[in-house]
Amino acid sequence: MKLSMPRFDQAPVLVVGDVMLDRYWHGGTSRISPEAPVPVVKVEQIEDRPGGAANVALNIAALGAPAMLVGITGVDEAAESLTDSLNAAGVDVHFQRLAEQPTIVKLRVMSRHQQLLRMDFEEAFGTNAEALAAEVERLLPQARVLVLSDYGKGALKNHQVLIQAARRRGVPVLADPKGKDFSIYRGASLITPNLSEFEAIVGRCADEAELVAKGAALMQELELGALLVTRGEHGMTLLRLGHPALHLPARAREVFDVTGAGDTVISTLAAALAAGEELPQAVALANLAAGIVVGKLGTAAISAPELRRAVQREQGSERGVLSLDQLLLAIEDARAHGEKIVFTNGCFDILHAGHVTYLEQARAQGDRLVLAVNDDASVSRLKGPGRPINSVERRMAVLAGLGAVDWVVSFPEDTPERLLGQVKPDVLVKGGDYGIDQVVGADIVRAYGGEVRVLGLVENSSTTAIVEKIRSK
């Protein structure tokens, strides 16, 4: 499946649900309490993070998508901490504040990256369902996707009112369900239960075939557009009526903490769908995102650069020979990490010491070297009959093996001007004895503020000379 990074900046998402504050007390543990057989933690750091629906909104904002959040809090210090954190991340916050009830807080005591204890401070909210629905109706015209982040804490009491309001406006509804009554999500575009939540509704599934059959029956019963079952180390399964099941393997390299992984899945899904991605591609992106977040400690969000790099790995574009699409994705990721892009080009028909020295010098001009190689037809036009000696595939394979070269791409024209206009390198490098104004594409690069540099050539190193020497013998 081909993946790409969506335009998250054009993908507004509205999140409604149970917001909470995840509070962490970090400290060292060196002794057992004399009062009871429990470790004593010397608290050295207190950390607050948005949790629940607030974490979903935070994840959406971290991807670069506009995020709006509707939820319930108390009028207390925890609510202020939540609001400050979310505002700082760019989330548009719309809270109902209830003076008579506290904001939900989950306190975790951590030592040496291990959770020793969790304490929950919560009461089910007495939500004003009509006021919440009115706020959602007001914000829906600004959203491309509505997310119901349901933790069963009382913020969501009128699921059907919200679902129907979104459907009337043609806005897809994604729901992260809780409880043993999924009928409240009837008509949703997609629900995302984990396996235990799913089996609590349909019964135990002995194998994937039974999971698919029971999932299809549930979709028909509840008039769901799709069903995504997250299955931990077994990945996730996407079911759609009229389509074969899509089973995606888990992507985590190392599972450190699964806290908030479901939030990451639905937030990435929502942002990708809002950006115009098809559902299978959006699910694949969410699967990659989940693989990243479980490698982090506690409730965490992943950033667009992190996801972009995961997509890059998935598409095989970390190094080596790339298609133009893969190259542009790799460059976007490199720039997100503050790396300077250097570009050079040539035929490189028979690789020799002069080429190697020149490419090492070119790579030293920045952080990443893009090497654009003339295809066979253009080499023939430039060098004459009998050239190239080696096909473009073989030339690129050899060049990709050089330590100085990050990415190799071919182009069909005689000059790389079109490619330069797409790549927009920070530095254009060429070897030779001519001036900067004579470098092909120099005007393009300098027009957007890039640099053009001319490097010297190694004497007595020439592909043409090597070819003539071979022919003469």
Catalytic residues: 263
User: Across the strands, what pairs with 274?
Assistant: none
* 341 close to 331: Cβ distance less than 8 angstroms: yes
* Phi/psi at 154 (5° precision): 110, -10
Nearest CA-CA partner of 269 in 287, 293, 253, 295: 287
DSSP 8-state secondary structure symbol assigned to residue 386: T
Amino acid at 104: I
Burial of 320 (0-12, 13-18, 19+ CB in 10 A): middle
Q: Rounded distance, CA 382 to CA 124, Å? A: 75
Collect all residues with Cβ–Cβ distance below 8 Å to 167 and sequence separation of at least 6.
173, 187
Euclidean distance between CA atoms 423 and 330, whole angstroms:
10
**Where do the DSSP E strands lie in 347-445?**
368-374, 407-411, 427-431
Between CA 429 and CA 139 the distance in angstroms is 51
| DSSP string of 160-220, one letter each residue | HHHHHHHHHTT--EEEE--SS-GGGGTT-SEE--BHHHHHHHH---SSHHHHHHHHHHHHH
Token pair listed for 306? 């992190």
* Separation CA 75–CA 125 (nearest Å): 13
Letter string b/e over residues 335-372, b meaning 16 or more CB atoms within 10 A of that residue's CB: beeeeebbbbbbbbbbbbebbbbbbebbbebbebbbbb
Contact 73, 103 (CB under 8 A): yes
Q: Which tokens belong to 52?
A: 């629940």
